[in-house]
Structure 1
Amino acid sequence: MKGLAHSFVYWPGIDADIENTAKSCPECARQAHAPPKFSEHHWQYPKGPWERIHIDYAGPVAGSMLLIIVDAYSKWLEVKVTNTTTTASTISIMDELFSRYGVPITVVSDNGPQFTAAEFKEFLQKSGVKFHKLTAPYHPATNGQAERYVQTTKDALKAMGTTASTLHINLNKFLQLYRLAPHATTGESPSKLFLGRSIRTRFDLLRPEDVQMRVTNKQQSRFEPSFREFVLNQQIYFLSGNPRMEKWIPGVITARLGDLHYEIAYEGKRFKRHVDQIQSRNSFKCPQLIEPTDAEDSSQQEAPRRIHFYENRSTFPENSSTPISARSAPVHPDSPEFRTPTGSPTPTIMRRSIRNHRPPNRYSP
């Protein structure tokens, strides 16, 4: 049109006038082609991982819905399986991710009802999300980061022949390999940028290890126990188990129940004891050892009474076999049990305080 007009007439600004005339024509606007699409990336690249995430739902896949979460910095992918796409279910999934990786600065989503609900906006505000970006209506390419991974995830699960019973297994396999592979945009694996390290898989077994690494791993995997061990039929002492009066009883190891527990035979009975309750009979001499015949009677004996300094110790000898109840009762001089000690009785010496006393400092104004 411009060339045809230039062949006949000319005036200053003729091209601008021709363009305005064409744009103001309604019939021309209806038949015009769509403008060229903007192909460059329109999102600013984040400064660190988990600063901006893109979310979107995919499915149904094998009878379930998938919530896709993509980190814009590292391209780390999270896929959560859910049976419903309600706002409550979405909040529950996002709350789990926030507790695991922290709260992002920006969340980008489409205009789905679960993302535009007032409850979801309130949840993001209380969690600490600064910005919630919504895509333009009927333009899913605005959230192209999530839309692209929706297609990638669905294609991978479809190629693996995913069913309802194998959905979680196939999804874990896909995520493990995806997070390990270098990304075409960043040149690094998502795990390297997101976690700061490459995740280890079974493919690492193909890499040769040097001698130092092999010896170090072998030493770390070797377990050297530091606790005592006993063998079968070993003569030992073990605690009776009476909380009021614990004594050591001779026994024999009959079985090992674990690393720290043994079964012990004593008088036809079986006892379970911890290694801390067992001592070797050859290398340990316990003054509280009781014989097998007195084991049952020992639990019924009373604890010895404490003798105070003001009591006559000559009347109650320590090695006396008289029961405590009898010794604690007063003895009359005319009773046949009374025995006058030989020699002159030892006078009782009262304990006196040796503290230097001084008069109190009284207050005088």
Structure 2
Amino acid sequence: MVGCDLFDFQLSKYLLLVDYYSKYIDVVELSSTTTSSITNVMKQIFACHGIPLRIRSDNGPQFSSTRFNKFCQAYGIEHQTSSPHFQSSNGEAEPAIQRVKRLWSKAEDKYLTLLDYRTTPLEGIKLSQAQLLMGGRPRNTLPASTEILKPRIDAIVVKEHFNKKKAKQKVYYDLKRGVKELKPLEQGDSIHMNPLPGSKSWKSGTVVKHYGRPRSYVICSRGRLYRRNRRHLRETSEAANQQDTTTLDDGQLGVSDKQHESRREHRECIRGERRDSTNG
């Protein structure tokens, strides 16, 4: 069950939603108070926390409209209304509004204050609203041990699940696109580099080293260092690298089994890289 209501604060209009179980409060400023604006905000909140089974509201025109009823039907929500002209019967929403107004009246940052309130343990159970809703405590600006912030789930199992899902997606993507794994490059290999934005010319160069990830390389070209992904590089021979590369296309890029480096450029780039690391 989620309670909802509108309220004014410092000349702005807000929509408040409060979860009956956890007492977790969401507050969003509205650009207008039309039913369309309200349902769009609700959709954003539900995309984060899930769709509630029931919504409880007052009988304001925005919530009693045909558009709002259709929204609830589309999302499979049972809409309950409080007794007309009897705000206190709107369950948790009205007390939550008064609570938010009290917090904000003393706050410099409204949303940090709201975060601190959500992450403060509730009296009697030593668990915060956020922990009850999400299973973990979000980080805020207050000092907290890493153990407190850890969610109550098996992080290893979750990580394995997403790793397997990612690997499965890669298999399907590769099959669909006919992707072939490119041969890894080694230090000193001669290459041509994909044209830079705004240019049609391929640059010749040599591989200086891998950069962090298997398919990322540091390339030396004409005394300068570049970082490029493997798919932007084509193997070539040292002889081809000595050509004028301004009009080279894929058909002109020669490939040899054993690549040779352009020694002078390679040494210049290595010296430049060492100077940069020393100065840094």
Q: Does 1:240 align with 2:187?
A: no
Q: Does 1:198 align with 2:137?
A: yes
Q: Quote how far apart the aligned CAs of 1:72 are.
A: 0.2
Change (3 A) 1:187 1:112: farther
In structure 2, C-alpha distance between the alignment counterparts of 1:181 and 1:100, rounded to whole Å:
21
User: Letter of the aligned partner of 2:102 in structure 1?
Assistant: D
Change (3 A) 1:78 1:275: closer
Q: Quote how far apart the aligned CAs of 1:57 are.
A: 0.6
Q: What RMSD over aligned residues (CA atoms) do the two structures have, in Å?
A: 3.9
Which residue among 136, 160, 163 is the counterpart of 2:107?
160
Aligned to 1:146: 93
Alignment of 1:225-264 (within 5 A): 236-241=188-193, 260-264=217-221
Deviations along 1:259-283, whole A, 9 cap, x unmatched? 74434227xxx6856375599xxxx
Q: Quote how far apart the aligned CAs of 1:86 are.
A: 1.1
Unaligned runs of 5+ in 2: 148-183, 196-202, 253-280
CA contact (8 A) 1:238 1:273 kept: no
Q: Structure 1 or 2: larger helix share? A: 2
In structure 1, C-alpha distance between the alignment counterparts of 2:80 and 2:2, rounded to whole Å:
10
**SS of the counterpart of 2:5?**
strand
CA contact (8 A) 2:107 2:113 kept: no
Aligned to 2:122: 183
TM-score by length of 1: 0.46
CA contact (8 A) 2:193 2:205 kept: no
User: Letter of the aligned partner of 1:78 in structure 2?
Assistant: D
Deviations along 1:59-104, whole A, 9 cap, x unmatched? 0x23211111000000111001113211111111112222222221
Q: Does 1:274 align with 2:231?
A: no
Which residue among 54, 59, 62 is the counterpart of 2:3?
54
Q: Quote how far apart the aligned CAs of 1:132 are.
A: 1.2
Aligned to 2:265: none
Question: Bigger relative contact order, structure 1 or 2, given CA contacts below 8 A and separation 6+?
Answer: 2
Q: Quote how far apart the aligned CAs of 1:189 are.
A: 0.8
In structure 1, C-alpha distance between the alignment counterparts of 2:194 and 2:137, rounded to whole Å:
56
**SS of the counterpart of 2:62?**
helix
Deviations along 1:99-125, whole A, 9 cap, x unmatched? 222221111001111011111011101
Equivalenced residues, count: 201
Change (3 A) 1:84 1:118: same
In structure 1, C-alpha distance between the alignment counterparts of 2:79 and 2:227, rounded to whole Å:
62
TM-score by length of 2: 0.59
Larger radius of gyration: 1
CA contact (8 A) 1:66 1:79 kept: yes
Change (3 A) 1:250 1:127: closer
In structure 1, C-alpha distance between the alignment counterparts of 2:194 and 2:72, rounded to whole Å:
60
Aligned to 1:39: none
Q: Structure 1 or 2: larger strand share? A: 2
Aligned to 1:290: 239
Q: Quote how far apart the aligned CAs of 1:251 are.
A: 6.0
Unaligned runs of 5+ in 1: 1-51, 162-169, 210-226, 231-235, 280-285, 304-365
